[in-house]
Structure 1
Amino acid sequence: MEKEQELEWLEAQKIVISEDLIAAAKQQLQFLAMVDRNRCLYDGPVLYYAIYRYKACWLPLLAKQDESWISEGPLVVPLDCEWIWHCHRLNPVQYKADCEEFYGRILDNHNVVSTIQGASTKKTEEIWNRLYPEEPYKLDLSISLSKNIDEKFPEALRCTKYDLVSAVKRQSPFFYQVARPSMNDNLFLECAVARYKGFLHLIKRNRERSIKRFCVPTYDIDLIWHSHQLHPVSYCKDMMEALGKVLEHDDTDSDRTKGKKLDIGFSGTTKQWENTFGSRYWRAGAMHRGTAPSPVTVIPFTSNLVDKKVVSPNEHQKMTELPKTKFVEVSLKLSELFLQLPFSVCSFGSWYMFSVAFEHLTT
């Protein structure tokens, strides 16, 4: 049995991925952090206007990329448009259908630079201003919009009928789930890519055996899956070769109640993974963290203390230098007797250490 499981894992690792998903995952985390610092993109008038700009400006511009007067050099996508584009691509089947219906091909991210990469936007701004003289290239996210979005919105419906508002709201909590130091670690991500291939292999086996199962990823696998989808041409090509179809990404179900679709799907995926590969499916640092806490309100504070000591940049760097972080996975098995003990019998320090180490094992 162990030999068969080992062969299944080796077979899974033969799945070909055309992109560097480790680099893509790290870039995605940087981008999501930037969006999270501009929370007006999650809801309200800025979100609606960003969707309008994405449909009416960015997609048509992207479709013109092959034209000679645009093709020189990469395009730099504005932050608000990139966020909506990000969420649109995370429904790969819908995105592919929209692009092919309205533009005749999948609009890819080839020769497009993310706004977080710090590239010069001069050329893209010139092209944008030529095409859209009345619409600024950069949307000022710090001001309230006074433009009548409702009047402009119908103009952009020709780009997609997909409900992008709902898509954004479904994706907004994702950053909290993956905003952990381990997710940026190379070894952790290398393992995540291997586990993603294992996840795809399970789906492939289910298709071959006509088994209908809703496979649910852990968050390390999901981060890599998202990173793959953000390269739509490669994703479609890779999925067709691996599975014979473009794999749908269903993010519409968020009910984690016991006995519901997500709970049943995760339990089934866990059992299938362990039977197929002989290894544990859940992974420390990759499980659901619960609901994201409300943002902290920042109260400006001005100190009347003045430090007259001048610290050189080099000395400051030495003072703030931290040792390299190491991640250790700890497995805890709690007896039924311990769980029945009242809180009072546990010292605060011991309980605190337990609460820090304990990981949500439900997804």
Structure 2
Amino acid sequence: MVSLNLFRRRQVKSSVLDVPLEKYDKETGLPATIKIGDEDYKPFVSLQETRDHLTFLSALSALRHSLPSSDTDDTPFKELCQQSAMAYAYWVQHVLKERGAGKALSSGELPCLEVLMAWHSHLLNPTIYQEDIGGEYSTLQGMNFPLSTIATAIREKTLPPFQPTTPEHVQSPKQTKWSAEDVGMAIGRQAKFIGHMKRIGWLDEKYWENGVRELQFSIVLYHAWLDLMQSTECKYFLVPRLDIDLAWHTHQLHHGRYKADTTRLLGKLLNHNDAAGDEKLGNGMEVTRKLWKKRFGWEYQ
């Protein structure tokens, strides 16, 4: 029987990590419910959502690599990050304002990939995003990032072309935590994660032709990570593995759902600090390894 035997274990109280793959729900490819603390939850993230997210990240990777750059000069990409952030601000302030807030975007209403890239990076800073949609980005309130529709448009090559805007067309945000420049910097930070996904081959559709076991485990591991977060009362800076991070990011793209889920679990909206430095990440990873082994009996590698 295949289970999460990716780790050497000792005997502790059983958890979702001990559920064999053969026991997963045949329709969803995941456990029907996952225990976090004392409660059972349906998985917060689906396999299809994770696959769609990888399709989106693959498009972002291709966009970056289409730009002229070198090992010493990444100026074209940095400029694109800022241009994309300004176009995103314009889209929110003008295009969405005219159509009205809260309504789901149809495939014909999707903005260009560059604007979606900025929206994606904004969402991956959930406490900032929550504050900003109460201000100048209020037209995003109640609007989901349409991941499935975006992935379909990418596969069918139907996203509209990029139309750069200029600073004078974007209002200076008065009631936001982040400016367009801050969003642009966040895009740059997310490029590192996308690079990691490319390095391990997960952005290549052919990688998944022989099955999606690693994605199944990434989602299960993410729920175990949330269980660890709850059991330690969010006292520690817990660092996710790369596969857990993918599932976590996918959850965050559904902001309303993510806010409700993490508030129910943890008593607050769980933030994602994508600006944490190497020292903080390294120390956090060491703490996470120790706590994970203590709670689950598995090595955290």
TM above 0.5: yes
The alignment covers a number of residue pairs equal to 251
Q: Any unmatched runs of 5+ in structure 2? A: 1-8, 18-33, 68-74
- Residues 293-324 of structure 1, C-alpha deviations (whole Å, 9 max, x = no match): xxxxxxxxxxxxxxxxxxxxxxxxxxxxxxxx
Distance 1:63 1:188 in 2: 41
User: How far does residue 217 in structure 1 lie from its aligned partner after superposition?
Assistant: 0.4
User: How far does residue 11 in structure 1 lie from its aligned partner after superposition?
Assistant: 3.0
The corresponding residue for 2:227 is 201
Q: Any unmatched runs of 5+ in structure 1? A: 122-136, 283-363
Q: Where do residues 148-297 of structure 1 align in structure 2 (5 Å cutoff)?
A: 149-153=166-170, 155=171, 157-158=173-174, 160-162=176-178, 163-179=182-198, 180-181=200-201, 184=208, 185-207=211-233, 212-255=235-278, 260-282=279-301
The correspondence for 1:90, drawn from 119, 124, 131, is 124
Distance 2:104 2:292 in 1: 45
User: How far does residue 96 in structure 1 lie from its aligned partner after superposition?
Assistant: 1.3
1:99/1:6 Cα in 2 relative to 1: closer, same or farther (>3 Å)? same
- Give the aligned residue type for 2:128: Q
The corresponding residue for 1:14 is 40
Moved more, 1-10 or 22-31: 1-10
Distance 2:60 2:154 in 1: 10
- Residues 84-138 of structure 1, C-alpha deviations (whole Å, 9 max, x = no match): 00100000111111112342734322598314143866xxxxxxxxxxxxxxx62
Contact 1:206 1:212 in 2 (8 A): yes
Distance 2:262 2:247 in 1: 14
- Give the aligned residue type for 1:196: Y
Distance 2:40 2:221 in 1: 12
Contact 1:273 1:279 in 2 (8 A): yes
User: How far does residue 150 in structure 1 lie from its aligned partner after superposition?
Assistant: 4.0
The corresponding residue for 1:49 is 83
- Give the aligned residue type for 1:36: S
1:54/1:159 Cα in 2 relative to 1: closer, same or farther (>3 Å)? farther
User: How far does residue 156 in structure 1 lie from its aligned partner after superposition?
Assistant: 5.0
Contact 2:104 2:144 in 1 (8 A): no
Distance 1:111 1:194 in 2: 20
The corresponding residue for 1:107 is 143
User: How far does residue 231 in structure 1 lie from its aligned partner after superposition?
Assistant: 1.0
- Give the aligned residue type for 1:48: Q
Contact 2:45 2:250 in 1 (8 A): no
User: How far does residue 178 in structure 1 lie from its aligned partner after superposition?
Assistant: 1.6
Distance 2:236 2:88 in 1: 35
- Residues 68-93 of structure 1, C-alpha deviations (whole Å, 9 max, x = no match): 9x879443231110000010000011
Contact 1:96 1:106 in 2 (8 A): no
DSSP 3-state at the match of 1:6: coil
Pairing 1:32–2:57 present: yes
DSSP 3-state at the match of 1:173: helix
User: How far does residue 66 in structure 1 lie from its aligned partner after superposition?
Assistant: 5.4
Contact 2:105 2:146 in 1 (8 A): no
Pairing 1:116–2:159 present: no
Scaled by the length of structure 1, the TM-score of the pair is: 0.60
Distance 1:273 1:251 in 2: 22
The corresponding residue for 2:114 is 80
Distance 2:218 2:15 in 1: 19
DSSP 3-state at the match of 1:172: helix
Distance 1:159 1:241 in 2: 28
| Aligned sequence identity (%) | 24
User: How far does residue 173 in structure 1 lie from its aligned partner after superposition?
Assistant: 1.2
1:158/1:138 Cα in 2 relative to 1: closer, same or farther (>3 Å)? farther
1:266/1:19 Cα in 2 relative to 1: closer, same or farther (>3 Å)? closer
Distance 2:82 2:185 in 1: 11
1:73/1:86 Cα in 2 relative to 1: closer, same or farther (>3 Å)? closer
DSSP 3-state at the match of 1:251: coil
1:215/1:67 Cα in 2 relative to 1: closer, same or farther (>3 Å)? closer
